[in-house]
Amino acid sequence: MKKIFYLACVLGVIFTAQQLSARPSTQGGGRTIGVILLGTDIQHCRDFQKGIEDVCAGHGDKVVVLDPNWEIARYAPLVDDLIAMKVDGIIIEGLDQEAHIGAIKAANAAGIDVVQSDNWCKDESITAGQAASDNFDAGYQCGLDAVKKLGGRNIRAIVLSNPGSPAADDRTNGFKKAVAEAGGRIVAEQRGNGVEQGARVADDLLQANPTANVIMGNHDPAAYGALSSVKAIGKTGQILIYGVDGNPENLEAIKAGEIAGTAKQDPYKMGAVSAEFLYNKWEGKTYEKKVQIPIQFVNSDNVDKFL
């Protein structure tokens, strides 16, 4: 398998995650940085990748990108393959705060520096740095917008959460705080991650809670899935839908009045900061090893500047 993987890297062949995919960025140089994304199916991850690639290209180094297709179990084998390739550094776009610790320690034991970003790593001592959005504020700003639009005590919200993901948990907690401060209620909460699951769960929860007037998605795909559920019951624009990311399709839906808002992340900056951690360490610089990147709340008032 590893021989096949190496050949794929040399030829620049793109495989699916199940085929152990690798996509080299050929910017020539002395170092190779391995990157494991959440997945390559959303713009957020592609922007994160671009931030890394631009920084590495500026140093004359190349990047090899692997796609675990949102499967936690895929991370450790992919890290093993990067170790076998003798990469100089690894950047992990984390799915969990603890699930990748064993793989990071294995890379460290092989003398490879590792950055985990997007979701904090619980053991900061094993990373060369971490960068993530201010996810609590992302959820809080969505809640504040709902309060402003509906009035506090009128809020009856459904939350599509993703328990176990630090980023998603922070967003959920931020949203709940804003709603609770205004005297609103969370009428239902259930895991709803991604477009398909978000739509399926929203269908069930809307049926069980017909007076719900807000849906908070833990990210934009979940919010977009919820939109299809809201459309199906003829309440487009009546039920306020929120997400986090700032994906193009969600921005278009905000423009159309179908989604109320999103907390836009800056994944390009997150990726660039993640790459800079490695260079700062290699160059012996003193630097802040945990960086929280601000979000920008987007609704109909300002969506045009993001389209």
Confidence of residue 1 (pLDDT cuts 50, 70, 90): very low
Convert the pLDDT of each residue in 186-236 to its tens digit. 999 999 999 999 999 999 999 999 999 999 999 999 999 999 999 999 999
Alpha helices in 193-247 (DSSP H): 194-208, 220-232
Mean pLDDT estimate for the chain? 91
- DSSP-derived pairing of the beta strands 290-293 and 62-66: unpaired
Of all residues in the chain, the percent with pLDDT exceeding 90 is: 85
> Is the pLDDT at 155 greater than 60, yes or no?
yes
Which residues have a Cβ under 8 Å from the Cβ of 64 and sit 6 or more positions away? 9, 22, 23, 24, 25, 32, 33, 34, 35, 82, 85, 87
What per-residue confidence (pLDDT) applies to 3? 41
Q: How many CA atoms lie within 13 A of 55 on its CB side?
A: 20
Check if the beta carbon of residue 35 is closer than 8 Å to that of residue 63: yes
SS3 164: coil
**To which CATH superfamily is domain 2-128 assigned?**
Response regulator (3.40.50.2300)
What per-residue confidence (pLDDT) applies to 229? 98
134-151: average pLDDT: 97
Domain pair 2-128 / 135-265+299-306, same fold: yes
Convert the pLDDT of each residue in 38-48 to its tens digit. 998 888 899 99
Check if the beta carbon of residue 264 is closer than 8 Å to that of residue 246: yes
32-41: average pLDDT: 94
Convert the pLDDT of each residue in 53-85 to its tens digit. 999 999 999 999 999 998 999 999 999 999 999
In the structure encoding, which two tokens stand for residue 178, read together?
A: 């804003």
In the chain, domain spans: 2-128, 135-265+299-306
> Is the pLDDT at 253 greater than 90, yes or no?
yes
What per-residue confidence (pLDDT) applies to 41? 84
What per-residue confidence (pLDDT) applies to 151? 85
Q: What is the pTM of this model?
A: 0.82
What per-residue confidence (pLDDT) applies to 262? 98
What per-residue confidence (pLDDT) applies to 113? 98
119-131: average pLDDT: 96
The CB density around residue 273, as the number of other CB atoms within 10 Å, is: 24
- Looking at the DSSP bridge assignments, the partners of residue 36 are 66, 92
What per-residue confidence (pLDDT) applies to 123? 97
What per-residue confidence (pLDDT) applies to 29? 63
Confidence of residue 2 (pLDDT cuts 50, 70, 90): very low
- DSSP-derived pairing of the beta strands 32-36 and 89-93: parallel
DSSP 176-206: HHHHHHTT-EEEEEEE--HHHHHHHHHHHHH
Check if the beta carbon of residue 177 is closer than 8 Å to that of residue 148: no
Confidence of residue 21 (pLDDT cuts 50, 70, 90): very low
178-187: average pLDDT: 96
* Domain 135-265+299-306 classification at class level: alpha beta
